[in-house]
Homo-oligomer: A and B are copies of this chain.
Amino acid sequence: MFRPLSLLIINISKHNVASQIKYSTAILPRLSSEKYNIKRKSFGTINESDINHFRSILSENRVITDESDVLPYNIDWIKNCRGQSKVVLKPKTTDEVSEVLSYCNSKKLAVCPQGGNTGLVGGSVPVFDEIVLNFSLMNKVISLDDISGALVCEAGCVLENLDNYVRQHNLIMPLDLGAKGSCHIGGNVSTNAGGLRLLRYGNLHGSILGLEAVKADGTVIDCLRTLKKDNTGYHLKHLFIGSEGTLGVVTKVAVHCPAVSKAVSLGYFGVNTFEDVLQLYRNAKISLGEILSAFEMADNRAICSTVKNLKLTNPLEDYPFYVLIETSGCDEEHDSEKLNRFLSKEMESGHIIDGTVTSEPAKMRVMATFT
């Protein structure tokens, strides 16, 4: 699948997972608590008997205490934040998550739930000695109904793995983002990730059919429904979407997966004014309608900087603004025809000064690099 935002969305799909990263102390980021001058609150302090209790719940090898092994879980991906956790727990089941949280709650031990640790704002790493609750071992697909498109899986499933899995059934995940090679679906839900497919498939409040979460006291909240039109009771699941673990830890999710699009086309246009960009957006929604899957703009300065620094050639001449439009549909010929017609019409009306359209993957990648 082609992605048009390679510069705006930092691609971390190939970066190593936490457990494989080795740090030398020379490159360690400053402790977040010092950097941001934060005071630790009066939580409990972990001791040997707590560790032993966790081992009794999870077994020896899923309780990580070795300092160098714990370090990668303390540091965020852009190496801006560093926590001081002493222990990483890797539950495999909802029951284990529940037991761990219930115990921590009774001992007032602070917990930092962590998905793929791909966040860019330091939200996925501890600040002090919070226990890292890592979900990488809760990575099983539970079911896929390829008729309704309902996928049920554990929170630690990596987004890209899920996308690859559902593609075998002519479906795609309703969200896609640069971190897809590492980020967990549980983290996507907890942070209400938007990403590249939002224009087409909307936000997770529309796509998440159900979820299971564990509250701080260990109570399991079961909202794991797969019915698209479910309208029973209060819609509690939405409280967990975007609340970043503060109300509970997401352990399972049910996602509605739309049908995969067979054809992708791309248009790259030079535009004179920001007003024209807005007008183009409005007209694209009308003329391209159901096949419009991305609409991005960049100004001249951003494009020039990209061209210069990445040593690229701009397929268009100098214009104050550039617009990139992606279409996805089930018929390449139809889509190209629509996109070309849109280009002609908007060039005639003057909203577009110059433009190029392609359905060839190689050319699309070149175009996409600019915006």
Contact = CB atoms under 8 A, between A and B. Distances in A.
A328 B291 CA distance: 11
Contact of A239 (B235, B241, B286): B235
Contact of A235 (B146, B192, B288, B290): B192
Most chain-B Cβ atoms within 10 A of its Cβ — which of A191, A205, A278?
A205
Contacts of A241: 235
A53 interface: no
Interface in A201-222: 202-203, 205-207
Nearest to A204: B206
Q: Chain A contact residues (Cβ within 8 angstroms of B): what range?
A: 35 or more
B192 A231 contact: yes
A286 B167 CA distance: 12
A90 interface: no
Given A234-B243, A238-B205, A229 B194 contact: yes
Contacts of A235: 192, 205, 238-239, 241-243
Nearest to A291: B290
A228 interface: yes
Contact of A330 (B170, B198, B259, B286): B286
A192 B282 CA distance: 28
A287 B282 CA distance: 27
A235 B191 CA distance: 11
Contacts of A191: 231
A331 interface: yes
Contacts of A194: 229, 231
A289 B330 contact: yes
B330 A146 contact: no
Interface string A51-81: 0000000000000000000000000000000
A170 B286 CA distance: 7
Interface string A285-301: 11111110000000000
A210 to B, nearest CB: 12
Contacts of A287: 330
A241 B234 CA distance: 8
A281 interface: yes
Most chain B beta carbons < 10 A, residue from A191, A202, A239, A329: A202
Given A239-B238, A242-B235, A278 B338 contact: no
A260 interface: yes
A147 interface: yes
Interface in A263-287: 278, 281-282, 285-287
Contact of A282 (B147, B242, B289): B147
26 contacts: A146-B282, A149-B285, A170-B282, A191-B231, A198-B229, A202-B202, A202-B207, A203-B206, A205-B206, A205-B235, A206-B206, A231-B242, A234-B242, A234-B243, A235-B238, A235-B242, A235-B243, A238-B239, A258-B285, A259-B286, A261-B290, A286-B330, A290-B290, A290-B328, A331-B334, A334-B337
